[in-house]
Amino acid sequence: MLFAVKMDVALPRDLDADVRADTLAREKAYSQDLQRGGEWVSIWRMVGQYSNLSIFHVADNERLHEILWNLPLFEFMTIEVTPLAQHPSDIAAG
Amino acid sequence: MLFAVKMDVALPRDLDADVRADTLAREKAYSQDLQRGGEWVSIWRMVGQYSNLSIFHVADNERLHEILWNLPLFEFMTIEVTPLAQHPSDIAAG
Amino acid sequence: MLFAVKMDVALPRDLDADVRADTLAREKAYSQDLQRGGEWVSIWRMVGQYSNLSIFHVADNERLHEILWNLPLFEFMTIEVTPLAQHPSDIAAG
Amino acid sequence: MLFAVKMDVALPRDLDADVRADTLAREKAYSQDLQRGGEWVSIWRMVGQYSNLSIFHVADNERLHEILWNLPLFEFMTIEVTPLAQHPSDIAAG
Amino acid sequence: MLFAVKMDVALPRDLDADVRADTLAREKAYSQDLQRGGEWVSIWRMVGQYSNLSIFHVADNERLHEILWNLPLFEFMTIEVTPLAQHPSDIAAG
Amino acid sequence: MLFAVKMDVALPRDLDADVRADTLAREKAYSQDLQRGGEWVSIWRMVGQYSNLSIFHVADNERLHEILWNLPLFEFMTIEVTPLAQHPSDIAAG
Amino acid sequence: MLFAVKMDVALPRDLDADVRADTLAREKAYSQDLQRGGEWVSIWRMVGQYSNLSIFHVADNERLHEILWNLPLFEFMTIEVTPLAQHPSDIAAG
Amino acid sequence: MLFAVKMDVALPRDLDADVRADTLAREKAYSQDLQRGGEWVSIWRMVGQYSNLSIFHVADNERLHEILWNLPLFEFMTIEVTPLAQHPSDIAAG
Amino acid sequence: MLFAVKMDVALPRDLDADVRADTLAREKAYSQDLQRGGEWVSIWRMVGQYSNLSIFHVADNERLHEILWNLPLFEFMTIEVTPLAQHPSDIAAG
Amino acid sequence: MLFAVKMDVALPRDLDADVRADTLAREKAYSQDLQRGGEWVSIWRMVGQYSNLSIFHVADNERLHEILWNLPLFEFMTIEVTPLAQHPSDIAAG
């Protein structure tokens, strides 16, 4: 099941430099693990924004929420979730 | 160069049935040609909407505009374009 | 898998009276079939609005889209879809 | 009398850890008491959000306000209230 | 139970003059009956708008919906409903 | 001359507890004096919000501004003012 | 008593040419009478818009509503009303 | 004096084909005359939109309004005007 | 050349009392100098808001920006600028 | 390839004066280097705003993102990116 997810990041200016570096490193590792596992299908930077547009392929809503809720940057993010379905014009639709 | 494009379709109720069928058939063929050519990378239906979210891979802005402007459904669409770049956490970034 | 769906209806004034009556009857039957089948869990009227708030329990995104796309009133509706998950404070969470 | 209520939570970063833990525990207990009492009919997590969608069944507006105003998290919430009525297509409408 | 209700009216230009006059007359009579009955407590014109702000005193949500749904101008209105409760500073609160 | 006024209150978390209690007490007294004087005609709590909807009956714009500007909570409020006129359907219109 | 009023005009394309010319002429005469009478203090075109920003000096809300409601273009306008008061920095404040 | 102007075009579907072709031809000629005259400094298509972003260099507000008001497509456009000034970081600022 | 300018003021709570008093005094003097000089034509308080609506008469965009940028309260303001032109119905239009 | 970019700046009040001065100096130098290099084609101040409207001419999306992400003021900016294409009415279109 596919979802488009847009994440806007707003790091507070007074975030401790070490906490910040650590959180960003954990976010990257967390994302890359899920990419390798096949659930975080795509991640793109939105040009000129501290934001990404991502595609997730997950078993269900519960799993998507679990993934997003546990993002190391979750508390600094505004998240928008769009459920997707197969498009009838998709050449992969057979 | 990648772009996310969201297209919302609003067909007028008084559109002639034949014109409608023909336009939809041409839209599908147009999209599938570009999918096969590699420029229209992905197309998903947004659940519960007469809308799609698509990813385009094109040479430049001019080419993207040419593709969108010539969509058979263009005059019935509201279109939103988001330029994308590689995300530093993308495992494909090497 | 649960979804909240908000549907706003705007019937065109020039809709033929018979078509209108028939479409509304089909919409009601369609909804009640899905309620009896357990997929359309709840439907409430929003006070003072030609709108409903509904809860759906479906297998996946594809099924939800199929249900909504085939609503007899679909072409006259504005639809908003919100994916839901179990809340940790829900007493049913065990 | 039914109401849909959407609650978005925004905990301040500088909230004392003990106060935070205590407030969250009281919020959970408060919600579960009202669930057991039958006034807080349903509570769902909105996927990817620190938000819930809830259904309340209360005697009147005064009672709903009393419940919401006394939520332990009230001062950190943005709340949206939608009065509901029975829908004519509801199979429970008889 | 009190509710504030804002109604914006948009009459279509092609509405038949007799239908228009008749609908407006029925709207006025309908409103005045409810005012005399004590359920439609206040009605004010919003300056410079084809809109009114009204206060309703009704038994419950069902009754408010019934009143609004049956407004002769309902199909030409955009309606906004706000549930009210007693304010602690109200001198009538005792 | 009548005005509808909506006031949303947002007290800062770091407001000194005594200042807070004193400001709220002064706000209540200030409102009740004006209610007794007949200028602050009605005040209702909006359900689930730290907000009120009020009706003012004042001599002119200058007086309304003077009243609002001097609210003890003014600096913590977002205020929306709507000028009202008599509605032709008002049974009090004679 | 002063009010700022913003009026956006949207003439329907199918308005009969004579009706259109007549309505515009009546609008101009109506405005100029009120300007000469001192109630319509100022009228400016907003650059690039079919809109005006105006200042009215009227006895009360009732009179302002009467003026606006009877604008020959009223049914084609979207109107925004802002009550004004004397500014403490105004050199005319004495 | 510089202004940024954004123009969104929405041609009605029932516009006569000849009128449409003639209007578009006149719009193009009108724009190109002003470009050659130096007042319409730049015009760009916004990708995927029936819109342009333009820069105007005109004597004053009156002249800008005159230019925009007389656009052959004016009645089908939504226009947004932004006054510009020299930026202190502009290398042309000397 | 005329412009309408709307200024919303939001003074931070932790602004030093002396700095605050001094800034407000300088703002008032600055405004009154420009009023006397004829460039700041009108200033009105918006009822119930810490905002003003002003009319400026300036040589060009550069001058308007210079005036606004140097407002003592500039850093605490949200500003909206609307270029104005003579309205064809203005009796002063001759 | 051309892009319009709107940048709104919001410097925090508690930014150290030296850091502020240094950041602004680096921003100016950064912008002017890119202007001299031909990638930052135009930069205008938006009247009355701490904002600029700029035109960029870059090789691709990746380069535009790199430029914007490395703006010394990036963390204090809200940025809006609009991809542009040649307009058919542009006299430079040949």
Q: How far apart are CA A66 and CA A61, in angstroms?
A: 9
- Amino acid sitting at position J19: V
Q: Which chains touch H (3 or more CB pairs under 8 A)?
A: B, G, I, J
- Determine whether the interchain pair F79/I48 forms a contact, defined as Cβ–Cβ distance below 8 Å: yes
Does the beta carbon of F55 lie under 8 angstroms from any beta carbon of chain I?
A: no
Q: How confident is the model at residue C94 (pLDDT cuts 50, 70, 90)?
A: low
Which neighbouring-strand residues pair with C78?
A: C8
The topology under which CATH files domain F2-85 is Alpha-Beta Plaits (3.30.70)
Q: Are residues J73 and J9 in contact, defined by beta-carbon separation less than 8 angstroms?
A: yes
Chain A interface test: which of B26, B43, B60 (most A C-beta within 10 Å): B43
Both tokens of C14, joined, read 């020039």
Q: Are residues H93 and J44 in contact, defined by beta-carbon separation less than 8 angstroms?
A: no
Q: How confident is the model at residue G93 (pLDDT cuts 50, 70, 90)?
A: confident
pLDDT per residue as tens digits for the range A57-78: 999 999 999 999 999 999 999 9
Q: How far apart are CA J29 and CA I29, in angstroms?
A: 35
Burial class of G11 by CB neighbour count within 10 A (0 to 12, 13 to 18, 19+): middle
Average pLDDT, integer, range C56-82: 98
Both tokens of F61, joined, read 């714009």
Given a cut of 70, whether residue H62 has pLDDT beyond it is yes
CB pairs A-C closer than 8 Å = 32
Q: How far apart are CA H56 and CA H84, in angstroms?
A: 10
Both tokens of J47, joined, read 């009247």
pLDDT at E94: 62
Both tokens of A9, joined, read 């990041």
Q: How close does chain J come to I27, measured CA to CA in Å?
A: 16
Question: Would you give the DSSP letter of residue I16?
Answer: -
**Residues of chain F with pLDDT > 90: what percent?**
97
Q: How close does chain A come to D88, measured CA to CA in Å?
A: 29
Average pLDDT, integer, range J8-36: 97
pLDDT per residue as tens digits for the range C3-53: 999 999 999 999 999 999 999 999 999 999 999 999 999 999 999 999 999
Average pLDDT, integer, range C50-78: 98
Return the residue of D nearest to F44 by Cα: D62
- Determine whether the interchain pair A52/B27 forms a contact, defined as Cβ–Cβ distance below 8 Å: no
CB pairs B-J closer than 8 Å = 32
Question: Would you give the DSSP letter of residue B12?
Answer: -
Does the beta carbon of G84 lie under 8 angstroms from any beta carbon of chain I?
A: yes
Mean pLDDT in chain J? 97
Widest pairwise Cα distance in chain A: 53
- Determine whether the interchain pair C81/B45 forms a contact, defined as Cβ–Cβ distance below 8 Å: no
Contact list, B61 vs chain H (CB under 8 Å): 47
Non-local CB neighbours of C50 within 8 Å, separated by 6+ positions: C8, C9, C10, C11
Non-local CB neighbours of E47 within 8 Å, separated by 6+ positions: F82, F83, F84, F85, G61, G64, G65, G68, G81
- Determine whether the interchain pair E68/C45 forms a contact, defined as Cβ–Cβ distance below 8 Å: no
- Determine whether the interchain pair G62/F85 forms a contact, defined as Cβ–Cβ distance below 8 Å: yes
- Determine whether the interchain pair A65/C81 forms a contact, defined as Cβ–Cβ distance below 8 Å: no
Q: Are residues C54 and C43 in contact, defined by beta-carbon separation less than 8 angstroms?
A: yes
What sign has the CA pseudo-torsion I56, I57, I61, I63? negative
Return the residue of C nearest to E70 by Cα: C48
Average pLDDT, integer, range G38-42: 98
Q: How far apart are CA I27 and CA I52, in angstroms?
A: 13
Determine how β-strand J40-46 pairs with β-strand G77-86: unpaired
Widest pairwise Cα distance in chain F: 53
CB pairs C-D closer than 8 Å = 80
Chain J interface test: which of B1, B2, B68 (most J C-beta within 10 Å): B1
Cα-based distances in Å from B72 to B9, C46, F14 = 11, 38, 58
Does the beta carbon of J79 lie under 8 angstroms from any beta carbon of chain B?
A: no
Q: How close does chain D come to E74, measured CA to CA in Å?
A: 17
Non-local CB neighbours of B19 within 8 Å, separated by 6+ positions: none
Does the beta carbon of A45 lie under 8 angstroms from any beta carbon of chain J?
A: yes
Given a cut of 80, whether residue J39 has pLDDT beyond it is yes
pLDDT at E59: 98
Q: Are residues E78 and E25 in contact, defined by beta-carbon separation less than 8 angstroms?
A: no
Q: How far apart are CA H62 and CA H56, in angstroms?
A: 13
Average pLDDT, integer, range I47-68: 98
Q: How far apart are CA G92 and CA J90, in angstroms?
A: 50
Q: Which chains touch F (3 or more CB pairs under 8 A)?
A: D, E, G, I
Q: How far apart are CA A5 and CA A58, in angstroms?
A: 12
Q: How close does chain E come to F25, measured CA to CA in Å?
A: 10
- Determine whether the interchain pair J47/I12 forms a contact, defined as Cβ–Cβ distance below 8 Å: no
Per-state percent for chain C, helix, strand, coil, to nearest 5 = 40, 35, 30
Both tokens of A47, joined, read 């040009």
Burial B25-40 (b: 16+ CB within 10 A, else e): eebbebbbebbeeeeb
Q: How confident is the model at residue G94 (pLDDT cuts 50, 70, 90)?
A: low
pLDDT at B51: 98
Which neighbouring-strand residues pair with H8?
A: H51, H78
Both tokens of A61, joined, read 């809503």
Length of chain C: 94
pLDDT per residue as tens digits for the range D24-65: 999 999 999 999 999 999 999 999 999 999 999 999 999 999
Does the beta carbon of A19 lie under 8 angstroms from any beta carbon of chain B?
A: no
Given a cut of 70, whether residue H94 has pLDDT beyond it is no
Chain G interface test: which of I39, I49, I89 (most G C-beta within 10 Å): I89
Does the beta carbon of B61 lie under 8 angstroms from any beta carbon of chain H?
A: yes
Q: How far apart are CA D48 and CA A81, in angstroms?
A: 7
Does the beta carbon of H32 lie under 8 angstroms from any beta carbon of chain I?
A: no
E runs forming strands in I2-76? 2-9, 40-46, 51-57
Contact list, H12 vs chain B (CB under 8 Å): none
Contact list, E69 vs chain C (CB under 8 Å): 48
Given a cut of 90, whether residue I24 has pLDDT beyond it is yes
SS3 state at F22: helix
Question: Would you give the DSSP letter of residue A68?
Answer: H
What sign has the CA pseudo-torsion A31, A35, A37, A41? positive
Question: Would you give the DSSP letter of residue C15?
Answer: S
**Domain range summary for chain J, segments of one domain joined by +:** 2-86
Contact list, G90 vs chain I (CB under 8 Å): 35, 42-44
Q: How confident is the model at residue I93 (pLDDT cuts 50, 70, 90)?
A: confident
Both tokens of H46, joined, read 């916004």
Note whether J touches D: 3 CB pairs or more under 8 A: no
**Residues of chain D with pLDDT > 90: what percent?**
97
pLDDT at I50: 98
Given a cut of 90, whether residue C65 has pLDDT beyond it is yes
Q: Are residues H41 and H64 in contact, defined by beta-carbon separation less than 8 angstroms?
A: no
Question: Would you give the DSSP letter of residue I72?
Answer: T
> What CA dihedral angle connects H74, H76, H78 and H82, to 10 degrees?
-20
Q: How close does chain H come to B61, measured CA to CA in Å?
A: 7
Q: How far apart are CA J63 and CA B85, in angstroms?
A: 9
Contact list, I49 vs chain F (CB under 8 Å): 79, 81
Note whether J touches I: 3 CB pairs or more under 8 A: yes
Select from D82, H7, F41 the least CA-distant residue to J87.
Answer: H7
pLDDT at F93: 80
- Determine whether the interchain pair G83/F62 forms a contact, defined as Cβ–Cβ distance below 8 Å: no
Given a cut of 70, whether residue A94 has pLDDT beyond it is no
Both tokens of F85, joined, read 């006129």
pLDDT at H69: 98
Average pLDDT, integer, range I74-94: 95
Cα H21 from chain centre: 19
Average pLDDT, integer, range I30-45: 98
Q: How far apart are CA D42 and CA D52, in angstroms?
A: 10
DSSP for chain E, written as a single string:
-EEEEEEEE---TTS-HHHHHHHHHHHHHHHHHHHHHTSEEEEEEETTSSEEEEEEE-SSHHHHHHHHHT-TTGGGEEEEEEEEEE-TT-GGG-
Contact list, B68 vs chain H (CB under 8 Å): 47-48
Q: What ipTM was assigned to the predicted interfaces of this complex?
A: 0.96
Contact list, B80 vs chain H (CB under 8 Å): 48
Widest pairwise Cα distance in chain C: 53
Both tokens of I12, joined, read 């931070």
DSSP for G45-90, written as a single string:
EETTSSEEEEEEE-SSHHHHHHHHHT-TTGGGEEEEEEEEEE-TT-
- Determine whether the interchain pair H48/B79 forms a contact, defined as Cβ–Cβ distance below 8 Å: yes
Given a cut of 80, whether residue G54 has pLDDT beyond it is yes
Which neighbouring-strand residues pair with G80?
A: G6
Does the beta carbon of J78 lie under 8 angstroms from any beta carbon of chain I?
A: no
- Amino acid sitting at position A26: R
Contact list, C79 vs chain B (CB under 8 Å): 48-49
pLDDT per residue as tens digits for the range A7-53: 999 999 999 999 999 999 999 999 999 999 999 999 999 999 999 99
Does the beta carbon of G64 lie under 8 angstroms from any beta carbon of chain F?
A: yes
Return the residue of E nearest to C12 by Cα: E75
Does the beta carbon of E88 lie under 8 angstroms from any beta carbon of chain F?
A: yes
Average pLDDT, integer, range I70-82: 98
Contact list, I88 vs chain G (CB under 8 Å): 28, 45
- Determine whether the interchain pair A47/J12 forms a contact, defined as Cβ–Cβ distance below 8 Å: no
pLDDT per residue as tens digits for the range G19-33: 999 999 999 999 999
CATH class of segment(s) D2-86: alpha beta
- Determine whether the interchain pair I31/G86 forms a contact, defined as Cβ–Cβ distance below 8 Å: no
Among partner residues F5, F12, F65, which is closest to I13 by beta-carbon distance? F12
Does the beta carbon of J52 lie under 8 angstroms from any beta carbon of chain H?
A: yes
pLDDT per residue as tens digits for the range B45-79: 999 999 999 999 999 999 999 999 999 999 999 99
Backbone conformation region of residue J48, classed left if phi is above 0, alpha if psi is from -120 to 50, else beta: left
**What string of H, E and C letters represents the secondary structure of H41-93?**
EEEEEECCCCEEEEEEECCCHHHHHHHHHCCCCHHHEEEEEEEEEECCCCHHH
How many other CB atoms are found less than 10 A from the CB of residue J80? 13
pLDDT at F94: 62
Return the residue of A nearest to J82 by Cα: A47
- Determine whether the interchain pair E85/F44 forms a contact, defined as Cβ–Cβ distance below 8 Å: yes
- Determine whether the interchain pair D48/A5 forms a contact, defined as Cβ–Cβ distance below 8 Å: yes
Does the beta carbon of J61 lie under 8 angstroms from any beta carbon of chain B?
A: yes
- Determine whether the interchain pair A79/D13 forms a contact, defined as Cβ–Cβ distance below 8 Å: no
